[in-house]
Structure formats: C-alpha cells, structure tokens
C-alpha cells in the first residue's frame, strides 16, 4: 500500500506541473507532444524491496560475526533467570549468537504482542519474554547476534483454533504419536500467518529469521490419502504427490524470503540432515537443494544420536567426529552443485541420548562437542549451532578447536 501511495504521489506531481507551465506560455498549446509511457504499471518489486527507502530500521545495530557460533534459547530462558547465565557463557567463550524461540513448538508466541499488532487479537501470546525490546537491546550491548526461531507447520494451537487450516482425521484434528498437530503447507493463509510473525520479529530487531518444521508431518505419505485437507492452488498440479509437497514447502520458503526483503534480515531454514543424502524426503516435502536455493543459511540437524546406520557407521552416537565429517562431505557436494549456495550452519548435539540404550550412546561433554565442531572445520564449514532443549550447555568447550 505504501508503494502505491508513493507512485501515486509521483503521478499527481506530474499532473500539477504540466498545466502550470502551459499557463506561463500560451504558445505551448500549438505544440504537439508525443505520448510518453513511464511504466509505473510494471514496477520491479525486487528493486523496490532492495531500496534503502523501503528498508525498516529497528534502531538496533548488529554486526554479522566472523562466523556464527550459536546456542538455542527457549522463550522461558530468554525471559528468565537463565538468560544472564547464557549471556555469561557467550561472553566468556567464542560463542557469539543466540537462536531464540519467538514462535514455539506448540504455536504460541513467546511474548505478548502490542495492541497495535496484527497478532494481538489471536490470543497466542505468552508472557515468557516480558520485554523483547529490552532483551534485544541487551544482546546489542553484549554483541550477541540475534536469530528468531519460528516453528512453522507444527502448530497445535492454530490447528485447534482453525481445523480448516489443518489435517482432519474424521471429525477430529489429526495428531501424531506425541499428540502434536500440524497445519497445512498447501494453504496460503498458513504461510501469511507465519510470515506476519517473522515480520514482527524483524521489526523488533532480530537480524535473521530461522524457520523450523518447514515440512509436512513425518510419514505423511502414508496418510495423504486418508486425512481430510485442502490443496488449494496445488489441487490441479500435474506433479505427482511427492513433488506437490516439495513444491508447496519450497514455495513457502521463497515467498517468505521475498516478503521479508524490506526488513533487511537473513532467512534460514532448519532441515533434516538426511534430506541432503536423498533426492528428496518423500513424505515431508523437503528437497535440500530446492530449499537451499531460496535461503541465506541452511541449518541441517545432524545430531549423531538421530542417525541410523548411515555412512557405514553402525552406532553413530559413539562416533561424533566421523558421523559429522561424513555428512559434511555429502552436504558440500550437494551445495557445490548450486549457482548461489547458502551459508552452511549445521545444528550440533550438546545433549546425551540414553534412550538409545546401553552401548549405543555416549554421555556428551567437552570432547564430543569439540569433535563435531572439528569435523565441520576439517570440511571447510565454520558456522554451527548447538542444541540442548533445556539450554544447559557443556562448560569448558573450545568452540574454535
């Protein structure tokens, strides 16, 4: 709307100036003017979006680090007593970034939107981060690079509020084995809901928007024909079911990135590590290369505990260096095929996985975390993020081994 007002003003100015000149010299009416077309109906949106005139300025200044080395931070931690401890961890090490939940795994915002926000009336705000602006100002003062994590299509809250945006199992919203619900990646309204949240995070001052759960539910290919849902514009697609899902997921990422251009933020996506080892993950709609072509940063989740016997490693959790190194070789080859590859910034494991059973897991500490980082470095990847769901990170780690 602002762009149209701007262009309208230019047209109005032209309409005012020409008659005034004509009154100054009556002989001008005898001159035949050639018709001119100024092309306002064909505005290059990319140029407009990249213009500083249309850039939003939060007032905060964050420099991109030499290489992002970050930790995951929940809304509870960001707004609670643990925040100070995590700031001290970053201040005393080579860590330099926080990935902070803005929309969590349930679909709630981790802060209360202001009354003038389009998100205010949705009732999804939680008071975990009581003053996001104050938090970001603190990060600016401490030179901590801020990344907003937004969980996209896993959204139990929106699914319950709006079953028409979800997947129906009979007359009930479908839930997975963990009682979580997803919303429908085929639907533009779902896209816009998440893009609006991302825009608000960018206005707060976050320098990067990280989209997580950019996919259909696990095993969706087994449920695609039995659940009830709409496919909107993808209904008449000539693509097969797998490629329709891939197209929907990829289209969302491209759309979100375009909408966020005026806010001067990078866009990143979390993706299953195994997606890089396959042409595409058929059930969930993730195509590593196609997503990578539409983001600034790709963050594969390559926790050793989450792999089966890939790469010829029978017990991956016991061999963190080897697992990460073998993965990095595959990813480097995949990104090397792209004309403009994004920055690789994988998620690494700073937690233990006793659920794997005795003999199948290690107690992860300093050596195991450093081994993963070293494996990335040895393969030319210098950025990483550490995941610990409780935000309790190993002490004494050399983050630039």
Query: How many residues does this entry show for the chain?
Result: 401
Query: What number of other Cβ atoms are within 10 A of residue 153's Cβ?
Result: 29
> Which tens digit of pLDDT belongs to each residue from 48-78?
454 544 567 889 999 999 999 999 999 999 9
Binned at pLDDT 50, 70 and 90, residue 398 comes out as very high
Q: Quick one: what percent of the chain has pLDDT higher than 70? A: 86
Q: Are residues 174 and 223 in contact, defined by beta-carbon separation less than 8 angstroms? A: yes
> Which tens digit of pLDDT belongs to each residue from 330-348?
999 999 999 999 999 999 9
> Which tens digit of pLDDT belongs to each residue from 179-195?
999 999 999 999 999 99
The DSSP code for 40 is G
Secondary structure element (H or E) that encloses residue 52, with its range: none
Compute the mean pLDDT over every residue in the chain, rounded to the nearest whole number. 89
DSSP 24-77: H-GGGGGSPPPP----GGG--HHHHHHSGGG----S---PPPSS-EEEEE-HHH
Whether the model pTM is above 0.95: no
């Amino acid at each position: 709307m602002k762009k149209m007002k701007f262009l309208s003003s230019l047209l109005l100015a032209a309409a005012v100036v020409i008659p005034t000149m004509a009154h100054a010299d009556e002989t001008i009416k005898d001159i035949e003017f050639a018709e001119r077309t100024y092309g306002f109906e064909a505005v290059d949106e990319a140029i407009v979006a990249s213009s500083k005139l249309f850039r939003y300025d939060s007032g905060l200044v964050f420099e991109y680090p030499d290489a992002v080395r970050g930790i995951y931070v929940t809304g509870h931690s960001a707004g609670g007593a643990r925040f100070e401890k995590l700031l001290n961890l970053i201040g005393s090490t080579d860590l330099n970034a926080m990935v902070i939940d803005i929309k969590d795994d349930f679909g709630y915002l981790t802060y209360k939107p202001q009354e003038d926000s389009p998100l205010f009336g949705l009732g999804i705000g939680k008071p975990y981060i009581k003053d996001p602006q104050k938090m970001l100002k603190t990060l600016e003062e401490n030179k901590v690079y801020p990344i907003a994590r937004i969980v996209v299509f896993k959204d139990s809250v929106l699914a319950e509020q709006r079953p028409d945006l979800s997947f129906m199992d009979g007359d009930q919203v479908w839930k997975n084995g963990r009682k979580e619900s997803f919303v429908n990646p085929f639907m533009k309204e779902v896209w816009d809901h998440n893009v609006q949240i991302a825009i608000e995070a960018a206005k707060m001052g976050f320098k990067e928007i990280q989209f997580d759960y950019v996919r259909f539910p696990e095993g969706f290919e087994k449920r695609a024909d039995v659940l009830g849902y709409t496919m909107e514009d993808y209904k008449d697609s000539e693509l097969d079911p797998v490629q329709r899902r891939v197209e929907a997921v990829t289209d969302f990422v491209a759309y979100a990135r375009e909408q966020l251009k005026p806010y001067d933020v990078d866009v990143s996506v979390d993706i299953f590590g195994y997606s890089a080892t396959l042409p595409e993950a058929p059930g969930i709609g993730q195509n590593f290369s196609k997503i990578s072509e539409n983001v600034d940063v790709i963050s594969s989740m390559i926790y050793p505990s989450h792999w089966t016997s890939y790469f010829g490693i029978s017990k991956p959790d016991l061999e963190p260096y080897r697992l990460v190194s073998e993965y990095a070789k595959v990813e480097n080859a995949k990104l090397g095929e792209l004309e403009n590859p994004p920055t690789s910034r994988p998620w690494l494991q700073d937690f233990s996985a006793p659920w794997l059973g005795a003999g199948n897991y290690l107690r992860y500490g300093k050596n195991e975390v450093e081994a993963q980082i070293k494996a990335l470095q040895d393969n030319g990847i210098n950025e990483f993020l550490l995941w610990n769901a409780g935000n309790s990170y190993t002490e004494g780690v050399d983050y630039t081994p």
